Amino acid sequence: MARKIGILGGTFNPVHNAHLAIARAARDAFELDEVLFMPSFEPPHVDAKETLDHNQRVEMLELALCGESGFEIDLREIAREGKSYTIDTIREMRAESYDEYYFIIGGDMIEYLPKWREIDELLRLVTFVGSVRPGYEVTNPCGIELFAAPELEISSSEIRRRVIAGESIDGLVPDKVKDFIYEHRLYNA
C-alpha cells in the first residue's frame, strides 16, 4: 500500500520553529505517514555565499528533528551536489516507489510556484500543499491544496541578522539549534 509522504525542502540556513510548525500542520491536515526534510546542496534561488556548509545545516536539522515522530531527513539533494531542482528530485523519488508525495510550501512561495522549473510536469507528479495563515488571502495560480498553519513570523534571514547584531533568537529556533549556532559561532560577522 502506498504511503503518504510529505516533503519540505529548503536550505534550512538555519532550520527554525516555523519550519517545524508547518511540517506538523501539513502532517496533520493531510494525514501524512512521514515528512521528509530535504536540505538542498545549492538551491537555484538563493545566494550560495550566504549559505552555510551543508554539513552544518544537516547537523542543525538532526538536532531539530530529534524526538519528532514521523520526521526524517532525506539527503538526496546534498548527495547530488550542485543546484537542486524539485523536478529532478521528484522524478527520482517516483522511480523508487509508488508512494504519494505531498510537497509542502510556505505561503510566500505559492504565488512564485508558476516560475518553478517544469511546473506543469511537477503538478502531475506531486501534490503541492501550501500553508496559509488563518484569515490571510493568497493568490493561488496553480490551484494547489491549502492548509492552515500557525502564524509564526520567522525567517532564516531574520535569524541570521539577529545573530550578527547580537540579538536574541530565543523561541525562533529549537534550543539545541540555538546552542549549536552559538557554540560554532555561526553567522557571526
Q: Distance between CA atoms of 170 and 89, rounded to whole angstroms? A: 34
Instruction: Please list the pLDDT of the chain residue by residue as tens digits (189 residues).
Output: 899 999 999 999 999 999 999 999 999 999 999 999 999 998 766 665 568 999 999 999 999 999 999 999 999 999 999 888 999 999 999 999 999 999 999 888 899 999 999 999 999 999 999 998 766 778 898 999 999 988 788 999 999 999 999 999 999 999 999 999 999 999 984
Following DSSP, what letter does each residue of 167-185 receive, concatenated? ---TTTS-HHHHHHHHHTT
Q: What domains sit in the chain, N to C, each tagged with a CATH number? A: 4-152 (3.40.50.620)
pLDDT for 189? 47
Q: Distance between CA atoms of 127 and 136, rounded to whole angstroms? A: 22
pLDDT for 107? 84
Q: Distance between CA atoms of 124 and 19, rounded to whole angstroms? A: 25
pTM of the full structure: 0.93
- Beta partners for 148? 132
pLDDT for 108? 81
Residues 64-111: tens digit of each pLDDT: 999 999 999 999 999 999 888 999 999 999 999 999 999 999 888 899
